[in-house]
Every structure is written in structure tokens, then in C-alpha cells.
């Protein structure tokens, strides 16, 4: 950052090779050192570019990208509105604005997203954690009740260990948040994507929880049904299995926002021709692997609830089946106890 003078930036056309789109963006001329701009102006221009490209929450996006380019927090930025950007900062910021204007999600540009009050690294290998997935956390913790506490409240004695699985862990947001909330839990974080597991491992290390989380590359829970094929002894039986599986129908791709459709991993989004295919297999496997009284919590697509209700009814052995709505009133989390 520099601290004096201010000058005009010029409009120019910035092309984005990734999206093969060309976006009109405010950006400084090549002679940036001669045309330094201050924070106020950078923000204003960034917001205008994002608004013109119909980026949702364009104000917040411009702020986050400028904070990222400067390595500063919001308070610092707004208390130094006259400070001038270094040329490298200016270039970085306008490049980020151009990529965001072309549809790349802010979180992939800054490399982070908050979930359950914890910060997670995100890359293009993982789905960006969504606020509605926090319902899975809420339902799981509410169902565990006193079992979620590390000690017995009446005796003060330590509780027996909990065994937890997160199927389709992606960034690890559910597995890591559960390990954080449940200090007496051992967690299996499972994903079919090795690239996703690498990100999840880094996130577990970042939160000092890697020791209690086992990362397993697998198709759903298949290796646990054939423990001889795993490198670890049979982990049966689980106390809690959670999953936010891919649940978008293949033919609904064109209804997704461009941010999702072109930038988030396909294997994290699409569940098959109808989108609900994965639930039947997952529920059947969970039925085998959960202990009696064990809990299953699944995130649902906007139209998955009736399908999942039917599976839980048809497959014997489930009780206390509930559906929890998200803030938009859509049934978002299904839960059931194993009889
Ligand atoms: C919707 S994302 C959820 C990621 C993360 N749990 C979250 O809530 O943000 C689904 C994840 O499931 C993984 N996945 C897809 N099919 C799978 C399968 N058959 N077995 C295991 N994981 C799978 C994807 O790679 C992806 O990381």
C-alpha cells in the first residue's frame, strides 16, 4: 500500500481465458504505477463491474476480493479508504474482479469459506460449503443429545467413544465440524475423490483435528461393508452417519447458476438421471453399519424429501424419521434412528 496521491483508472476490456467470456471491467492501464488508485475507488469500480455482470452480492464480493488482494481485514480497509494500492495489488485485484465477473465464485478466488464458525480452505476440487448444510450439523447434534457430551453429567465419568462417518466429505466441513463439537468422536471422512480428500486433510490439520479423522477414498460406505478390504480393522458399528451427497439431476444442469455449473466439481453435484439415485444405496448401507440407536442425517435436494421418506419407510429398521426445513422452507435434512 502507498499513502499519497490518487489518479484515474481507465476502462478496458478484460478477457477471461477460463470462461471464454469477455467481460467489460474497470481496470487500470498498463502504467499502473503512474495511475495509482485508492481503496475507495478500487471498491467502487469493482462493485460497478460486478453489478454490471449481474454478480449476486456484488458489494460483498468486491470487498472480499479487495481484502484478499491486500491481505487486510474489512476494518483496516474502511479506516484506510484513501490509501493507495501498490501496482501488484491493483493488478491482482482487477484480475480477481474480472474472474468473478466471468462467473468464478468468490470463495474459489479467495480460497476460503466459513462453515459452522470455522474457516475452510476450498479449491476447485471441492464443493463450497453451504449455509444450509449447517442444518445437518444442528440435527445431528440435537439427536445425539447427551451422547454428544464428553462426560456423563450425572457421574462426571468420560463417555464411551463415538464413531462417526461423513460420506462425501468434500472440503471436510461436516467431518471436521463434528470432530470439533464431539471431542470423544473418531470420524471417518469418506469421498470418492482423492483430490477432495487432500483438501479435507489440509483442513483437518488447520484445525488440529487430523488425529481423530480417518480419510478414506471410497464409493459411499462400501469398504466398511467388506472390512477385510480395508487397511484398518472393522469400524462397526457407527453411532452417527451424516452425508450431503450429490443430489442434482443430470438434466437440471442448465438450471444451475453459472457459478455452480461451470466451476464446482461435477461429482459433487450430480446424483444421476433423477438426482435421488444415491440415497437408496446410502440408506441401505447405513442401515447395516449403524448400531441400534445410531443416527442417520442426510442433506436433501429441493425435491428429494418424498423419495427419501419412501426409502426410509420401505427399508425396515428405521424409526423417528423427521424432516427439517431450511430458511427457505424447503425440507433440507432428513434424519432417522436405527431400531
Ligand atoms: C455435495 S458434495 C458435499 C461436500 C461436503 N460434504 C459439503 O457438505 O460441503 C458431495 C461430495 O460427495 C462426493 N461423492 C460423490 N459421489 C460419491 C460416492 N459415490 N462415494 C463417495 N463420495 C462421493 C463428491 O466428490 C463430493 O465431494
Could you report the per-residue pLDDT of 135-167, keeping only the tens digit for each?
999 999 999 999 999 999 999 998 889 999 999
Torsion, Cα 253 258 262 268, to 10 degrees, reads -60
Q: What is the pLDDT of residue 305?
A: 97
Q: How far apart are CA 15 and CA 119, in angstroms?
A: 31
Region of poorest pLDDT, from 14-28, 44-58, 161-175: 14-28
Region of poorest pLDDT, from 32-36, 42-46, 79-83, 257-261: 32-36
Count Cβ atoms below 10 Å from residue 131 Cβ, excluding itself. Answer: 12
Q: Are 159 and 234 within 8 A, CB to CB?
A: no
Q: How far apart are the first and last CA of the chain?
A: 62
Q: How far apart are CA 164 and CA 238, in angstroms?
A: 6
Q: Are 209 and 180 within 8 A, CB to CB?
A: yes
Q: What is the pLDDT of residue 35?
A: 78
Q: Which residue of 263, 268, 283 sits with most ligand 1 atoms within 8 Å of its CB, as the best mutation to test the pocket? A: 268
Q: What is the pLDDT of residue 232?
A: 52
Alpha carbon of residue 120 to chain centroid: 8
Decide if pLDDT at 231 tops 90.
no
User: Distance from the CA of 330 to the center of ligand 1, in angstroms?
Assistant: 21
Region of poorest pLDDT, from 122-131, 162-171, 180-189, 251-260: 251-260
In angstroms, the Cα distances linking 339 to 144, 173, 287, 311, 336 are: 15, 28, 9, 15, 9
Model confidence at 273, pLDDT cuts 50, 70, 90, reads very high
Model confidence at 37, pLDDT cuts 50, 70, 90, reads very high
Decide if pLDDT at 99 tops 70.
yes
Q: Which residue's CA is the closest to the ligand 1 atom numbered 9?
A: 129
Class at the top of the CATH hierarchy for domain 112-338: alpha beta
Question: Mean of the pLDDT values across residues 267-271?
Answer: 94
Give the position of cell 499513502: 3
Question: Percentage of the chain with pLDDT > 90?
Answer: 84
User: Distance from the CA of 63 to the center of ligand 1, in angstroms?
Assistant: 30
Q: Are 118 and 90 within 8 A, CB to CB?
A: no
Model confidence at 1, pLDDT cuts 50, 70, 90, reads low
Query: CATH 1.10.8.10 spans which residues of the chain?
Result: 11-106
Ligand 1 atom closest to the CA of 219, numbered from 1: 20
Decide if pLDDT at 188 tops 50.
yes
Q: Which three cell numbers stand for residue 82?
A: 484513501
Model confidence at 16, pLDDT cuts 50, 70, 90, reads very low
Q: Which residue's CA is the closest to the ligand 1 atom numbered 24?
A: 268
Handedness of CA 167, 168, 174, 176 (dihedral sign): positive
Alpha carbon of residue 233 to chain centroid: 30
Question: Mean of the pLDDT values across residues 319-327?
Answer: 97
Q: What is the pLDDT of residue 11?
A: 23
Question: Mean of the pLDDT values across residues 282-288?
Answer: 97
The residue ranking higher by pLDDT, 73 or 21, is: 73
DSSP state of 172: T
Q: How far apart are CA 336 and CA 205, in angstroms?
A: 31
Model confidence at 226, pLDDT cuts 50, 70, 90, reads confident
Q: Which residue's CA is the closest to the ligand 1 atom numbered 8?
A: 244
Decide if pLDDT at 290 tops 90.
yes
Instruction: Let me know if 75 is exposed, middle or buried by CB neighbors in 10 A (0-12, 13-18, 19+).
Output: exposed
Question: Mean of the pLDDT values across residues 204-208?
Answer: 98
Model confidence at 3, pLDDT cuts 50, 70, 90, reads very low
Q: Which CATH code fits 11-106?
A: 1.10.8.10
Decide if pLDDT at 8 tops 70.
no
Q: How far apart are CA 143 and CA 153, in angstroms?
A: 17
Region of poorest pLDDT, from 134-138, 225-229, 319-323: 225-229
Tens digits of per-residue pLDDT, 65-77?
999 999 999 999 9
Q: Which residue of 267, 271, 298 sits with most ligand 1 atoms within 8 Å of its CB, as the best mutation to test the pocket? A: 267
Q: Which residue's CA is the closest to the ligand 1 atom numbered 11?
A: 168
Q: Which residue's CA is the closest to the ligand 1 atom numbered 12?
A: 168
Pocket-forming residues, ligand 1, beta carbon under 6 Å: 126-127, 129, 133, 167-171, 173-174, 190-193, 196, 219-220, 244-246, 267-268
Q: Are 94 and 12 within 8 A, CB to CB?
A: no
Decide if pLDDT at 258 tops 60.
yes
Is residue 65 helix, strand or coil? helix
Query: CATH 3.40.50.150 spans which residues of the chain?
Result: 112-338
Question: Mean of the pLDDT values across residues 48-77?
Answer: 97
| Sequence-distant (≥ 6) Cβ neighbours of residue 122 within 8 angstroms | 107, 108, 111, 112, 113, 128, 129, 171, 199
Amino acid at each position: 500500500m502507498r499513502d499519497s496521491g490518487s489518479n484515474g483508472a481507465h476502462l478496458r476490456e478484460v478477457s477471461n481465458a477460463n470462461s471464454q467470456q469477455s467481460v467489460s471491467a474497470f481496470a487500470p492501464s498498463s502504467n499502473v504505477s503512474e495511475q495509482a488508485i485508492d481503496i475507495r475507488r478500487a471498491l467502487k469500480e469493482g462493485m460497478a463491474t460486478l453489478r454490471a455482470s449481474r454478480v449476486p452480492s456484488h458489494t460483498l464480493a468486491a470487498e472480499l476480493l479487495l481484502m484478499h488482494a491486500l491481505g487486510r481485514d474489512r476494518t483496516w480497509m474502511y479506516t484506510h479508504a484513501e490509501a493507495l494500492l501498490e501496482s501488484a495489488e491493483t493488478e491482482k485485484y482487477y484480475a480477481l474482479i474480472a474472474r468473478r465477473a466471468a462467473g468464478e465464485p468468490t470463495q474459489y478466488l479467495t480460497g476460503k469459506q466459513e462453515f459452522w464458525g470455522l474457516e475452510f480452505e476450498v479449491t476447485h476440487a471441492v464443493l463450497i460449503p453451504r449455509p444450509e448444510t449447517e442444518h445437518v450439523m444442528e440435527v445431528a447434534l440435537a439427536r445425539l443429545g447427551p451422547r454428544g457430551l464428553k462426560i456423563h453429567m450425572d457421574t462426571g465419568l468420560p463417555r464411551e467413544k463415538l464413531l462417526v462417518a461423513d460420506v462425501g466429505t468434500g472440503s471436510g466441513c461436516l467431518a471436521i465440524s463434528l470432530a470439533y463439537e464431539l471431542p470423544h468422536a473418531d470420524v471417518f471422512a469418506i469421498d470418492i475423490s482423492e483430490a477432495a480428500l487432500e483438501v479435507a486433510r489440509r483442513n483437518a490439520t488447520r484445525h488440529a483435528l487430523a488425529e481423530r479423522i480417518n480419510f478414506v477414498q471410497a464409493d459411499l460406505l462400501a469398504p466398511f461393508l467388506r472390512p477385510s478390504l480395508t487397511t484398518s480393522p472393522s469400524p462397526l458399528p457407527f453411532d452417527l452417519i451424516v452425508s450431503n451427497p450429490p443430489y442434482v439431476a443430470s438434466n437440471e444442469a442448465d438450471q444451475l447458476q453459472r457459478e455452480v455449473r461451470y466451476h464446482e466439481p461435477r461429482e459433487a453435484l450430480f446424483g444421476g438421471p433423477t438426482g435421488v439415485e444415491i440415497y437408496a444405496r446410502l440408506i441401505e448401507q447405513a442401515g447395516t453399519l449403524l448400531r441400534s440407536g445410531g443416527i442417520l442425517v442426510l442433506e436433501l435436494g429441493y425435491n428429494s424429501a418424498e423419495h427419501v421418506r419412501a426409502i426410509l419407510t420401505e427399508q425396515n429398521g428405521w424409526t423417528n424419521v423427521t424432516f427439517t426445513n431450511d430458511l427457505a422452507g424447503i425440507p433440507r435434512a432428513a434424519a432417522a434412528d436405527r431400531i
